[in-house]
Amino acid sequence: MSMVIHELSTNALKYGALSVAEGRVAITWSIDAENQRFHLEWRERGGPRVVEPTKKNFGSRFIQTALPGQLKGEARLLFESTGVVCDINIPLSSLQETIIAAVD
């Protein structure tokens, strides 16, 4: 999860909303207790106009494959003209650390 946030941040700084003084990134998150899911939305605005790339670069592929592969989650990367949006949806169980008790 931290690598996905790092990738989104790096791209926003180089090409997206954080590459200009007026640009902003809104990060919202919530927990769906009934379905035991964590949801995070990354939404850029105020940056350069976005055009969907014709080829998927390393970052896009990483974001869309790392979460399903490692955290059993989903990531949708949307290239809206007003800014990049990334929707992340992960089972809570994938985000919890396993506690190992010490045995004497």
Q: What is the pTM of this model?
A: 0.85
- Tokens for 95, please give them: 């985000």
Q: pLDDT category, 95, cuts 50, 70, 90?
A: confident
Q: What is the mean pLDDT of residues 59-79?
A: 85
Asked if pLDDT for residue 103 goes beyond 70, the answer is no
* DSSP-assigned letter for residue 99: P
Contacts of 44 (CB under 8 A, 6+ apart): 12, 16, 17, 18, 23, 24, 25, 50, 83, 84, 85
Separation between Cα atoms, residue 85 and residue 95, nearest integer Å:
22
